[in-house]
Amino acid sequence: MITDLNLVGVYVAPFVPMAIVSAMITIVLLRIADHFGITRHVWHPPLFNSAVYVIVLSLVVIGSVGR
């Protein structure tokens, strides 16, 4: 089981670091997609960005719970 993280006396839910890591991975993936021109074919870019973030977040959570 994943417990709370103690950061200088402040307890942080384990979901917060997972969300931050997912945001960084999503930024990298979206920049790669933009570099190759994939985002030009997307109908609604903010919706696409949100969907990619949710997918990456779910993979990070599943990967961390599986340990």
pLDDT over 70 (residue 67): no
> What digits encode the pLDDT tens for the residues 22-61?
999 999 999 999 999 999 999 999 999 999 999 999 999 9
Q: With contact defined as beta carbons under 8 Å apart, do 36 and 2 qualify? A: no
pLDDT confidence band for 65 (50 / 70 / 90): confident
pLDDT at 31: 97
Structural domain span for residue 9: 5-65
Number of domains within the chain = 1
Using the structure block, give the residue that is written with the tokens 């696409």.
48
* Cα distances (angstroms) measured from residue 44 to each of 31, 33, 48: 16, 14, 6
pTM above 0.75, yes or no: yes
Higher-confidence residue of 7 and 46: namely: 46
